[in-house]
Amino acid sequence: MAKDDPSNDNLQSDPDPSIPTKQATNRLSQLSSHISPNNNATNSPNQPQSRKPSSKKSKKPVSNLPADYSDVLDQLATLRKLAATPDVKNRGYIRQKQAGKLWVRERIEQLLDPGTFREIGSVSGTVTWKQTGPLREEPVAFTPSNNVQGMGELSGRPVVFTADDFSIRGGHADGAMMEKTMYVEKMAIAMKVPIVKLVDGSSGGGSVTTIRKEGWSYVPHVNTFRPMVQQLNLGVPNLGAVVGPAIGLGAARVVSCHFSVMAADVGSLFNAGPKVVEGATFEEGLDFQDLGGPLMHCTNGTIDNLAANEAECFEQLRTVLGYLPNSGSQAPPLIPCDDPENREDLGLRTIIPRRQTRMYNPRTIITSVVDQGSWFEIGALWGTTGITGLARLGGRPVGIISLNCEVNSGALDAAGSQKLTRLLKLCDVMNLPLVQFVDVPGYAIGTVAERTATMRWGVELGKAYFSTTMPVFSVITRRVFGVAGGIMVGCRDPPMQCAWPSGHWGSLPLDGGIEVGHRHELREAEKVGKKAERYKELEEEYLRLMNPVRTANAFGVEEIVDPKDTRSICCAWTKRVYDVLIPERLSDRANGKIHPSFS
């Protein structure tokens, strides 16, 4: 007889009917524990827990909050009031006033049209909060970020605006918000509106205290340069003013603008301050003006223009903007003109001396030809062999270039070439036609010219003339010689130009040119004591052959005009450009056929 197997008994026994019920109960208990906010740990794991309604105590704080969010609006109002009210006991504010500078919000009031400023990031900064209830708090102290920015109007034109607050950490990064600065830079591109920058400090540049604040040192990146370069090349006007010490990144931001101006009484600019310089180069006792004042940077081309004070800076910004479009996708703004386009000036007939070596004031020609009161010179204190600026002809904005025979006889040196190059690029990105008054004996020569890389910068000027595409009209008032002359009048095909009766041109000026071309002949004449006599004969012959009418006979120059008619000729050309060529140019830019570049 076989023995009973216990395992066989288990297999054959009936299943317990309570097992499925226990499993379902456990599952329901687990589910209830997940969804119920009031679990009781002492409950039996086999008993499902019921969801209890929230107590009145938990609802009370929520019910006391105002339905209209007035508590939040009050907080915003308090912070904005704190930001807009200067702390007269703050050492930064006291230092600002002792230096004779306006406070940042005073600058906004003076620069922008009244009532047009709308701040962006008005409550960004560091806040000290005081809790007044379970869900309530109020600000008791507020240190705004040291960059005030937003939108407003400048002479009725919409602009994006950014200004440093030097009274808060000198404009350094440990008091700034880079995201805020980047936002406005990008906004100028997206909205296609000019951007105005008032620099007083480092504009969010580095400070060693940032390392202490963050607890680690960082690899520096200049993120603002990418949108800045986009603005420059898109023709979004960048206008900057130095209204305090512009340091490091702040200096870079203003120097990169299309137009920059410095206040003579409070402005300065440098890569690093006097203390840093002292430790690096051992130059001691330098102040801001010695290191980078207006006598330094308004005469070397770092800053375009000089203003007497902050108010004059603001006026120059308004003036320049009046010539420029909101972006390169638009035409420059036209204004009504009361100055007759056919106005004549008989005085222009005698302004050029018959003797080629004599000088005259080229600015007199400019102010005579352009609309009365419209001439605005850019860079008057540097690159003085050239004259550049903006003006209007019949109410239409144009760029102006002239050579300055009163400095180095008008021979273009390195700085003069740089200045002309800068204006050419400005005109190109802003769709400004260019009118130039040509009297150039060539590039500067001599050891100083060679030492300062005159040919290098002269070639860069040539590249600018031939890579830009804005319309150019040349008025040849006197000399056109050498590579410089050939570049200026030959940069467009066909050349749009006219010449005055005083025109005088060739590959080389006669002074020196006769000596080179007739060296052997003059040497032989010298042996018999007749060098001076022979030189005079050759000079008289060349002067006769260089009569501008002979050039016109050969169609070497298209037309020689009466100088008194220069204004009407230039106005007629400018009108045609604005009526026909500018609309075509805007279409070409929109379709990607041309790509002007300022950078």
What's the N-to-C CA distance of the chain in angstroms?
A: 108
Q: How far is CA 151 from CA 158, 191, 213, in A?
A: 7, 11, 31
**Amino acid (one-letter) located at 586:** L
Q: At what angle do helices 104-111 and 310-321 cross, to 10 degrees?
A: 40
- Give dist(CA 353, CA 10) in Å, integer: 130
Where would I find the beta strands (DSSP E) of 358-487?
376-378, 386-393, 396-403, 434-440, 472-481
Residue 565 lies in a domain: yes
Residue 565 and residue 487 share a domain: yes
Residue 288 and residue 155 share a domain: yes
- Give dist(CA 366, CA 70) in Å, integer: 61
Cα angle: 415, vertex 417, 419; to 5 degrees: 70
- Give dist(CA 547, CA 426) in Å, integer: 36
Q: At what angle do helices 414-430 and 454-467 cross, to 10 degrees?
A: 20
Residue 240 and residue 180 share a domain: yes
Q: Which residue has the tokens 């005259």?
A: 360
Q: φ and ψ at 266, to 5 degrees?
A: -130, -10
Residue 509 lies in a domain: no
CB atoms within 10 A of CB 126: 11
Residue 427 lies in a domain: yes
Residue of 510, 577, 565 lying closest to 541 (CA atoms): 510
pTM comes to 0.83
Q: Are 559 and 499 in contact (CB under 8 A)?
A: yes
Residue 237 and residue 121 share a domain: yes
Residue 315 lies in a domain: yes
- Give dist(CA 67, CA 73) in Å, integer: 12
* Domain limits for position 482: 360-500+561-591
Maximum distance among all alpha carbons in the chain?
161
Residue 348 lies in a domain: no
Q: Are 163 and 148 in contact (CB under 8 A)?
A: yes
Residue 376 and residue 440 share a domain: yes
Q: What confidence score (pLDDT) does residue 8 get?
A: 44
Q: How far is CA 523 from CA 384, 537, 540, 541, 543, in A?
A: 38, 15, 19, 19, 22
Q: Are 253 and 201 in contact (CB under 8 A)?
A: no
Residue 486 lies in a domain: yes
The domain boundary residue, chosen from 323, 342, 374: 323
Q: Which residue has the tokens 């006599």?
A: 533
DSSP code of residue 247: E
Which two three-digit tokens encode residue 54? 């929230």
**Amino acid (one-letter) located at 218:** Y
Q: How far is CA 546 from CA 21, 518, 551, in A?
A: 120, 17, 8
CATH number of the CATH domain containing 252: 3.90.226.10
Residue 289 and residue 214 share a domain: yes
Contacts of 112-119 with CB under 8 Å at 24 or more apart are 112/152, 112/153, 112/154, 112/159, 112/161, 113/152, 113/153, 113/154, 113/155, 113/156, 116/152, 116/153, 117/150, 117/151, 117/152, 117/161, 118/150, 118/151, 118/152, 119/148, 119/149, 119/150
Total structural domains within the chain: 2
Q: Which residue has the tokens 């603005």?
A: 231
Q: Are 125 and 131 in contact (CB under 8 A)?
A: no
Q: What confidence score (pLDDT) does residue 484 get?
A: 95
- What pairing do the DSSP bridges indicate for beta strands 118-119 and 147-154? antiparallel
Residue 77 lies in a domain: no
How many CA within 13 A on the CB side of residue 383? 30
Q: Are 386 and 402 in contact (CB under 8 A)?
A: yes
Q: Are 129 and 140 in contact (CB under 8 A)?
A: yes
Residue 159 lies in a domain: yes
Which two three-digit tokens encode residue 170? 């000198």
- Give dist(CA 235, CA 452) in Å, integer: 31
The SS3 assignment for 390 reads: strand
Residue 264 and residue 193 share a domain: yes
Residue 318 and residue 364 share a domain: no
How many CA within 13 A on the CB side of residue 170? 13
Residue 246 and residue 106 share a domain: yes
Residue 249 and residue 119 share a domain: yes
The parts of the chain modelled with pLDDT lower than 70 are 1-25, 27-63, 169-177, 203-210, 213, 218
Q: What confidence score (pLDDT) does residue 11 get?
A: 40
The SS3 assignment for 572 reads: helix
Q: Are 297 and 269 in contact (CB under 8 A)?
A: yes
Q: What confidence score (pLDDT) does residue 209 get?
A: 66
Residue 365 and residue 311 share a domain: no
Residue 309 and residue 253 share a domain: yes
